[in-house]
A and B are shown apart, each in its own frame.
Chain A
């Protein structure tokens, strides 16, 4: 079985390479095939020991259907092999164990999983990891760190713009993108631009205040 998988995998990779990436045929053909395999991560600093998907299987053996993809996350290059069906969200959280990005509804309706792809905000649960080969991805960890907070992160603290914190990274990534979007100056403009991120704790007025605080200083 392992032998066969290895063949499948290399075969698929050849086809994909030939087609310059994922082909519909190769994609479909490998639906249902087992698992993903993460290649050795450079440095491996952020990685969990193993991902949930690879746990069962001998990690030395590449898994059928896995596709190579290189993601630049928070300026760090990650060369991976992932099941082509893996969402960008799961890839970030499960394969790379970068967990600041949260899974809320997993259907692109709540905004908790918002990240930046090449500077634009994206619901990471609605896009596949393999579609982002070479893309620059920024997660909340890349926006700012505890000792080097982004002005928005500081403003969120000043304004108590969270309660439970679960939607916060998504709110911040949306807000950070908004700063570079052609968004008007009024509160209504902010509401429109932030309407894709829901907060069950109801911290909305404070979120608006935090965004306005940063925009006023800019």
Chain B
């Protein structure tokens, strides 16, 4: 009666469709509840000279205003480097950085109070671009480097060279449910914090620190999020912190719900990158050496940037063996909200860089980019070690390529695209296949641990609690299925409980695609402990009722809601009977499980190691059509093929793959963050910031999986699936770049990311104007941007 591997609806399915699923703003308000909002910095970089909220306090319904001076604890925190403040002191470093927290009894009073706060802020010169930060040499954290071989020498000697800069834009998370927290004060300064967060433990730790509490005084509870995508990992600390300050000070429940506009304007996004590269290659397009300098826009504070940059550096190889590689990365400090985790976590920016380079090499050599990719693809027995020294085990990339090239009819369609582009005077088509090889595990090895609590009740039903948070990705459903399978009982008997730091301590963020891997494994571990004890009870029972078999717990089988000795399968106990029997025999029916990923590690000082337990791989073929006169682009067909091991829930995984692709497609096409010259986000609502809507979905969208039973290192042979498909969206961008090659007639075209209609039109116009600028011979590398 195994349920793992079968489609089972999301565990919130009925709640979602009936409107019964509760999000934080749906929680009933208490009689004395306060509403919380804040006044933030009006400038991107400023010296705060005075703060006067006396007029605000006079407004009826306003209960309190607080500044950093009211924080009982230490106003300094950060997930990696402690460089962030909850409330500005004398300096502000991005527009909207909170300065004054306001608590009021009505929204009206709150709105009036916000206007009544008087700030005198001297505007200082902000750094509003990566270039500006480089000019000031203002970086967050140190320089990171991974190198193998002698890229410098090979570049000097190579016949073909290209150099250029990849300009990669950021991305707004646009979770539909904005940042939200509801804090209920208890006795002895204890707080219960309901937070829409992917990282309850971080919220707990930061709140304890800034409020001067012990961590055991703060309980953080997360039922679910209306989307997270990385944006509710470290970015959820500010809203929770401000509401907690109010609750602690006033002893009244306090609720903060960001408006969508404020959320977009004042919270961190995906890192924009600006990556300089030099690449050497042979006549077949095989990369001989790559030198790259990655500049990430970290915004005003370190946040998770170090880890994001690390993933960019470790993913710049994507699916390709690069013998001589020298990759350096730095995080630029600018005056934007601290850029943060976003599905893919630096991986997409690293992969975009190499995929752009591959397209350039193909354009330069006048080859089909697919052939350049195949010439560079990681092998199964050789050329299968990454630039940081990790061996690819069970590499499925060659198989994925072969199958998707066939199923998408790539070669034939290439001919059709050639023909179309030679005939059409109004439109251009482009075709591209891009792969993904995404390392699974937190690159910070310490984080790869989890605990779980499994409680069995006397009627045989089970509650499971883990540190995983549910944001729609289906982690609770996966864990429910894993637990049901361990005992071989109906999943209806299992409920995955609200995530709370009270039940699971020191948890890692629900991030890095690894929530099911880590928390699912911990839950399975807890179940196995209970099963061992229950098997002993069962063995003693069967020894009593069957003559002469002896009590052998190892022979006890849990199957289809029953328990029996495998030597006497006719004599069965019902699950509920064994539960009751175990209780009577005073055997614990609750256990805590623990899991720590084994065999991983990375040494940044050497830039070497095996940080990932395994890789999730996939390929995507995309075809686009572009209006030559307007730059308008449409994705016509997409073929996705992925290796996700043995899927725990194929339906949920398919949703993750398609949804991830769609989000990646949005990042590379229409999602453009536009700022004023003062550093204010201009595209802060869905009218100006264009996420994919239903009409942007390709008319033909095929999604399939290969069969791979070899990922035995992970729970039930599954593979993590949350982030990898996002990187497949890059196929759309590569297809646009492919189309531009046809328009450029031999030029290596430039294309920034995102490829908005405006960007495409600009490039088309440019290609018309310029003549061939690429030198095909000589030692000077050809400049492509």
Contact = CB atoms under 8 A, between A and B. Distances in A.
Interface of A: 34-35, 48-50, 52-53, 55-56, 93, 97, 99-107, 109-110, 112, 139-141, 144-146, 149, 153-154, 156-158, 160, 162-169, 172, 187, 190-192, 194-195, 197-208
Contacts of B108: 34-35, 53
Given A200-B176, A204-B662, A157 B9 contact: yes
A31 to B, nearest CB: 11
Given A153-B17, A160-B654, 11 more contacts: A52-B106, A103-B25, A106-B259, A112-B176, A140-B18, A154-B17, A157-B9, A162-B10, A166-B175, A197-B694, A202-B661
B14 interface: yes
Contacts of A163: 10, 227, 471-474, 655-656, 659
A106 B105 contact: no
15 contacts: A35-B108, A55-B33, A99-B26, A105-B261, A107-B260, A157-B9, A163-B471, A164-B228, A165-B224, A165-B226, A191-B697, A195-B695, A198-B686, A202-B663, A204-B697
Contacts of A112: 176
Interface of B: 9-10, 12-23, 25-26, 28-33, 35, 60-61, 105-109, 173-177, 224-229, 259-261, 471-474, 651-652, 654-656, 658-663, 685-687, 691-695, 697, 699, 701
B19 A99 contact: yes
Contacts of B661: 202
A213 to B, nearest CB: 13
Given A50-B29, A52-B106, A53-B107, A106 B260 contact: yes
B732 to A, nearest CB: 13
B28 A48 contact: yes
Nearest to B659: A202
Contacts of A140: 17-19
B109 A56 contact: yes
A35 B173 CA distance: 34
Contact of A165 (B60, B261, B472): B472
Nearest to A105: B260
A100 B19 contact: yes
B226 A56 contact: no
A99 B655 CA distance: 26
A208 to B, nearest CB: 7
Contacts of B694: 190-191, 194-195, 197-199, 204, 207-208
Contacts of B30: 49
Given A50-B31, A55-B33, A157-B9, A102 B23 contact: yes
Given A162-B472, A163-B472, A201 B17 contact: no
A202 B35 CA distance: 32
Contact of B662 (A97, A158, A191, A202): A202
Nearest to A155: B17
A107 B687 contact: yes
Nearest to A163: B472
A165 B60 CA distance: 37
A125 to B, nearest CB: 10
Contacts, number: 195
Contacts of B691: 198, 200
* Residues of B contacting A: mostly: loop
A141 B18 contact: yes
Nearest to A112: B176
A149 B18 CA distance: 8
Given A53-B106, A56-B105, A101 B19 contact: yes
A97 B30 CA distance: 12
A103 B178 CA distance: 9
B600 to A, nearest CB: 29
A103 to B, nearest CB: 7
Nearest to A162: B16
B591 to A, nearest CB: 31
A93 B25 CA distance: 9
B695 A205 contact: no
Contacts of B61: 56
Nearest to B62: A56
Nearest to B27: A99
A192 B696 CA distance: 11
B33 A107 contact: no
A53 B176 CA distance: 24
Given A164-B177, A202-B660, A156 B29 contact: no
A141 B15 CA distance: 11
A103 B176 CA distance: 8
Contact of B692 (A103, A158, A172, A202): A202
A205 B659 CA distance: 9
B766 to A, nearest CB: 32
Given A100-B18, A201-B659, A202-B661, A110 B176 contact: yes
Contacts of A166: 23, 175-177, 226-227
A169 B108 CA distance: 28
A165 B106 CA distance: 28
A173 to B, nearest CB: 10
B472 A104 contact: no
A102 B226 contact: yes
**Top 9 A-B pairs, shortest CB-CB distance:** A100-B19, A164-B472, A166-B226, A202-B662, A163-B472, A202-B659, A165-B16, A140-B19, A99-B26
B176 A167 contact: yes
Contacts of B175: 164, 166, 200
B357 to A, nearest CB: 28
A160 to B, nearest CB: 5
B18 A146 contact: yes
Nearest to B61: A56
A52 B29 contact: yes
Contacts of A97: 28
Contacts of B107: 52-53
A55 B670 CA distance: 43
A26 B82 CA distance: 54
B227 A201 contact: yes
B685 A109 contact: yes
Contact of B685 (A100, A105, A194, A203): A105
A102 B177 CA distance: 8
B142 to A, nearest CB: 35
A56 B60 contact: yes
Contacts of A199: 176, 694
**Which of A104, A141, A145, A197 has the largest count of B CB atoms less than 10 A from its CB?**
A104
B14 A146 contact: yes
Given A55-B106, A164-B471, A191 B695 contact: yes
A12 to B, nearest CB: 17
A55 B105 contact: yes
Contacts of B651: 160
A163 B226 CA distance: 9
B254 to A, nearest CB: 12
Given A56-B61, A200-B174, A109 B687 contact: yes
B17 A55 contact: no
Given A110-B686, A204-B662, A49 B105 contact: no
Contacts of B13: 156-157, 162
A154 B261 CA distance: 34
A206 B28 contact: no
**Which of B29, B654, B701 has the largest count of A CB atoms less than 10 A from its CB?**
B29
A172 B21 CA distance: 14
